[in-house]
Amino acid sequence: MRRLLTCLLLTLALPVSAQIYKYTDANGNTVFTNQPPEGTKAESVELKPINTTEPAKAAQEQTPRLSELPAEPYQILELRDLPNEEALRANNGTFSVGVTIEPRLGPGHTLRLLLDGKPYGTPSSVPRLQLTEVDRGEHSLAVAVMQGERIVQQSETRTFTVQRVSANSPARGK
Looking at the structure, tell me whether residues 42 and 99 fall in a common domain.
no
Do 79 and 23 fall into the same domain?
Answer: no
CA atoms within 13 A on the CB side of 106: 19
CATH number assigned to the domain comprising residue 113: 2.60.40.10
Whether 54 is in a domain gets the answer no
Same domain, 76 and 39: no
Residue 51 included in any domain: no
Query: Are residues 117 and 34 both part of a single domain?
Result: no
Q: Please compute Rg for the chain using Cα positions.
A: 36
Task: Let me know if residue 80 belongs to a domain.
Answer: yes
For the chain (length 174 residues), average pLDDT per consecutive 10? Answer: 66 61 85 81 81 70 53 88 82 90 92 94 92 91 93 92 75 54
Whether residues 29 and 82 fall in one domain: no
> 76-87 burial, b if ≥16 CB within 10 A, otherwise e?
ebebeeeeeeee
What is the structure's pLDDT at 92? Answer: 87
> Residue 140: its pLDDT value, please?
92
Q: In which domain, by residue range, is 136 found?
A: 72-165
Same-domain status, 76 and 161 = yes
The rounded distance, in Å, linking the Cα atoms of 160 and 131 is 13
Between CA 148 and CA 159, with CA 82 as vertex, the angle to 5 degrees is: 80
| Phi-psi category of residue 114: left, alpha or beta, with phi > 0 → left and psi -120 to 50 → alpha | beta
| pLDDT in the model for residue 125 | 93
pTM value?
A: 0.55
Q: How many domains does the chain have?
A: 2
**CB 42, CB 23: distance < 8 Å:** yes
**156 and 79 inside one domain:** yes
Q: How far apart are CA 123 and CA 73, in angstroms?
A: 18
Same domain, 161 and 84: yes
The CA distance from 1 to 45, in Å, is 37
